A and B are shown apart, each in its own frame.
Chain A
Amino acid sequence: MTKVKSLDDLRKMRDAVKSKLDLREKGDKAEKVVQIKVSMATCGIASGAKEIMTYFIEELEHRSIEGVVTQTGCMGYCYAEPTIEVTLPGEDPVVFGFVDTKKASEIIEKYIKKGELVDGIIPASYETIDKEKTK
């Protein structure tokens, strides 16, 4: 395991993981892959986020779609759990609420495959501070 021994190490590591994450997002081919984040805080899990995450992992495989499914923390839309964020290559992320397996299937078929939006989008209601500024 590499140890961080100086601020320089950390910076190198940050750049390395950034490009690694970028690679994960884009894939090593020219075509980029779709990214799905499932909100998995207590509220999300209580309303079935785990099943949804598993569903996406299995269904992307079944339907031969290349994608990365990861978990993340609370997005704040507790009234609409489970919530997921889907980022299609080159597009802004889109958040969907009240995702059950039926909705999930619809999202895969319509949004992920064809780029058609489906009912249940949650407009981002907040700004996150721009970390790029800090460099």
Chain B
Amino acid sequence: MAKFKNHILVCAGTGCRASQSELIVENLNRAIEDNNLGDEVQVVRTGCFGFCEKGPVVKMMPDNTFYVQVTPADASELVTEHIVKGRKVNRLLYVDPDSHKVISDSKEMGFYKKQIRIALRNCGFINPENVDEYIARDGYAALGKALTEMTPEQVIKEIIDSGLRGRGGGGFPTGLKWDITRKVKADQKYVVCNADEGDPGAFMDRSILEGDPHSVIEAMAINGYCTGASKGLVYIRAEYPLAIERLKIAIKQAREYGLLGENIFGSDFCFDIELRYGAGAFVCGEETSLIHSMEGLRGEPNVKPPFPSESGYKGKPTNVNNVETYANIPVILLNGSKWFSAIGTEKSKGTKVFALAGKVNNVGLIEVPMGTTLREVIFDIGGGIKDGKKFKAVQTGGPSGGCLTEKHLDIPIDYDSLLACGSMMGSGGMIVMDEDDCMVAMAKFYLEFTVEESCGKCTPCRIGNKRLHEILEKITQGKGTKEDLTLLRNLSYVIKDTSLCGLGQTSPNPVLSTMENFADEYEAHVVDGKCPAGQCKALMQYVIDPEACVGCTLCSRVCPVDAISGEKKMAHIINPAICIKCGACMEKCKFNAISIQ
């Protein structure tokens, strides 16, 4: 087996590529040739190391030496020193900012791995359709431990001590919820898993169910044991066929092994799980609507209290938790509450899974300890903004959340800090926006969603959100006034204060937070009639630069509405009253004389 003795890994992620990693590869190859090492050393391009702030990054294998901020000029030294003479190039090694120590072995760079996978521990490792692989990784051991060695009170105490809070958005302490459900007396109780995941752009729960369905099943059974419920229901949207398929397979396998069913682990605890399908309404993720939907009623919320823990499905005590919340449970029982509560911040323990999307390079599913900063998530793990553009804002909490900006980049992500900044944790959608995104249009997009998804039960949400959307539409059309801004703000507060459920209570958040953080952008729309980001078409004008225009007439010939006039060989003019802003002229102009203003 002809095998290279050394490999040089060069990051070719978008961030590093922008800082000349291609040239580094070329220069390394040349240096290898020059030293006649072609048979021994191979240069390989890799994906993003998640360490872009120190890029370009080069890693030497097999000794795991990690070089940072390498320039093309460093390539030959890396080859002659590191490979040929076996000496490390000290000036390119990473210096730990806290200890000021030089760290060369990437294995010791704990900080460099910003992600810890707890809820996603098995996703991407095991075959989700094979229960044996789950068991091989200690699956169902937590259920066994709970049933045979612990009382329900002890299990609940572990969960309370761990500090785990609901991952579905609200952040209610999970152990406390379990305890409340346990204490209510009833002949029948239910365990419900909320897998509705209606937040646009979010796919955390789907990924967990697709990658590790047994962890949710196991946790639901543990909950049943604690609360005294014998029946579990997973409410999942029908749009998730693969997750449904894998859940079904998992439930069947668990039944075959006796891990669901009668007398589990030889105890007198009996538990089984069924699926209930949702039609994909956002409001059905709200727990009381979810329960109505499962009962075959309209998916409308009702006033709380009573909370589902007291009176839920069919009027019985019902413990509702989110998919990711459940996925954390088995490990907490196995590793102990101390282990779990050591991760995260004072009031938010453990990790959070986010679906990172929008204008960032490494779109993906990530799991970070609570307290990680937005900067680390967007610029290190996310690899920075696409196409080298400038970061503008990030929306967390989906349509219920708000946008966070440059000045929030260094706050630690946890329930309380995000709330304090006018956003919220939400279920884990994280959408990154760059300089080309108009904040008014962004708020309008979310309002469009809420108007669609409002169940219509209460007036402020049903009619108020529609009015909010109309005002935003007016502003993006360039027809807004300063009075509209006041109206927008006042109406937002009324809707927040008077809506029945969480949907209406949070739907104006995108409006309020963009108004707060980007007041000048709203002003620009209504006062100057301009969209600074250049996204609101109605506010843009195509203009011909008379200096650059040679009068070739090409533009006037392609304009579908004859908005362009001018004599041959003379500068042309676009009539903004006729122009429909299709951009055809700009595409055709060979002299770059047409621009958008």
Interface on A for B, CB 8 Å cutoff? 1-7, 10-11, 13-14, 17-18, 20-21, 37, 39-43, 45, 70-80, 85, 97, 113-129, 131, 133-135
Contacts and interface: CB of A to CB of B under 8 A. Distances in A.
B212 interface: yes
B98 interface: no
B129 interface: yes
Contacts, number: 198
B256 A1 contact: yes
A125 B115 contact: yes
Contacts of B243: 42
A10 B50 contact: no
Contact of A126 (B4, B12, B367): B367
9 contacts: A11-B141, A37-B124, A72-B123, A75-B124, A78-B364, A123-B9, A123-B46, A127-B113, A127-B115
Given A115-B3, A116-B3, A120-B45, A71 B116 contact: no
Contacts of A7: 141, 144-145, 147-149, 265
Contact of B259 (A4, A40, A77, A116): A4
Contact of A17 (B48, B135, B203, B256): B135
Interface string B475-509: 00000000000000000000000000000000000
A122 B121 CA distance: 18
Given A14-B135, A21-B136, A6 B126 contact: no
A39 B124 contact: yes
B125 A123 contact: no
Interface string B41-53: 0101111111000
A13 B144 CA distance: 13
A21 B131 CA distance: 12
A37 to B, nearest CB: 8
B26 interface: no
A117 B125 CA distance: 21
Interface string B313-352: 0000000000000000001001100000000000000000
B116 A129 contact: yes
B265 A74 contact: no
A73 B353 CA distance: 15
A76 B364 contact: yes
Nearest to A2: B257
A114 B1 contact: yes
Contacts of A20: 132
Contact of B141 (A3, A14, A118, A129): A14
Most buried by B among A37, A42, A73: A73
Given A73-B124, A117-B7, A127 B210 contact: no
Given A17-B136, A21-B132, A120-B46, A4 B364 contact: no
Contacts of B11: 123
Given A1-B256, A79-B364, A21 B133 contact: yes
Nearest to A98: B47
Contact of B362 (A4, A77, A116): A77
B44 A119 contact: yes
Nearest to A19: B136
A10 B361 CA distance: 43
B117 A42 contact: no
A17 B367 CA distance: 28
A41 B47 contact: no
Given A17-B135, A73-B210, A114-B3, A43 B203 contact: yes
B120 A76 contact: yes
Contacts of B308: none
A45 B113 contact: no
A129 B259 contact: no
| Chain B interface main SS type | mixed
Contacts of A71: 127-129
Contacts of A72: 123-128, 211
Given A115-B3, A129-B335, A13 B123 contact: no
Most buried by B among A18, A40, A124: A40
Given A7-B144, A126-B367, A131 B138 contact: yes
Given A72-B128, A76-B364, A128-B125, A41 B133 contact: no
A74 B123 contact: yes
Nearest to B368: A126
Interface in B26-79: 42, 44-50, 59, 61
B137 interface: yes
B42 A4 contact: no
Given A6-B265, A74-B211, A119-B12, 15 more contacts: A2-B257, A6-B148, A6-B266, A41-B206, A41-B242, A70-B127, A73-B122, A74-B120, A74-B207, A78-B363, A115-B4, A117-B7, A123-B47, A128-B125, A135-B138
A80 B2 CA distance: 29
Contacts of A42: 203, 206-207, 210, 240, 242-243
A120 B133 contact: no
A10 B116 contact: no
Nearest to A83: B124
A17 B206 contact: no
Nearest to A124: B113
B577 to A, nearest CB: 44
B439 interface: no
Contacts of B136: 14, 17-18, 21
B190 interface: no
A5 B266 contact: yes
B361 A79 contact: yes
Nearest to B141: A10
In the A-B complex, the 4 residue pairs with the closest CB atoms: A73-B211, A126-B115, A75-B124, A3-B258
B365 interface: yes
A19 B495 CA distance: 60
A42 B208 CA distance: 11
Nearest to A78: B364
A71 B117 CA distance: 19
Most buried by A among B46, B115, B118: B46
B265 A5 contact: yes
Nearest to B256: A1
Given A79-B362, A120-B47, A133-B335, A73 B144 contact: no
B424 interface: no
A127 B128 contact: no
Nearest to A10: B144
Most buried by A among B2, B44, B149: B44
A122 B47 contact: yes
A45 B208 CA distance: 15
A79 B148 CA distance: 44
